[in-house]
Amino acid sequence: MKKILLIVAFVLLAIYGVLSNYFPNTEINKYDSIETVKENKGIEKGWVPKILPLSAYNIVETHDVDGNTIFGKFNYKEMDEIIFLSKLKASNEMYESKNFLFKVDKEKNIVNFRNKP
């Protein structure tokens, strides 16, 4: 009887291990504006950069708690472009701040971001 219980426990543990690796702990959050990000504590939790322009909208972030990776994007209004870019350090085709890397499409006013590896 003990052997059967050990086998069942081992099988359940193996199934849990496989499923937890197959379904990572990834979450996607969508925000209409920077105010919504603040209400949901996205910046406070470190999922969204602190330096978003005030006009940021259509903000989407995806974070994987297990892999410690964050990806996101947002749109901004052109009036905030100069101020936003002045807060970043240019590096090749990318920009960076303290914890994040940014790729800025100035023609479409879209920014893709990710946390630094």
What pTM did the predictor assign?
0.77
Per-residue pLDDT tens over the stretch 89-114:
998 789 999 899 999 999 999 999 99
Give the list of residues 6+ apart from residue 28 with CB closer than 8 angstroms, or none: 60, 61, 62
pLDDT reported for residue 71: 96
CA separation for the pair 45, 8 (Å, rounded): 39
Give the list of residues 6+ apart from residue 92 with CB closer than 8 angstroms, or none: none
For residue 14, being part of any structural domain is answered with no
Q: Domain limits at 33?
A: 25-115
For residue 3, being part of any structural domain is answered with no
CA separation for the pair 70, 73 (Å, rounded): 10
Q: Do residues 30 and 39 make contact, with C-beta atoms less than 8 angstroms apart?
A: no
Total number of domains in the chain = 1
For residue 15, being part of any structural domain is answered with no
For residue 18, being part of any structural domain is answered with no
For residue 13, being part of any structural domain is answered with no
Mean of the per-residue pLDDT values of the chain: 87
Helix and strand numbers (H, E) in the chain are: 3, 7
The percentage of the chain sitting over the pLDDT mark of 70, rounded to a whole number, equals: 84
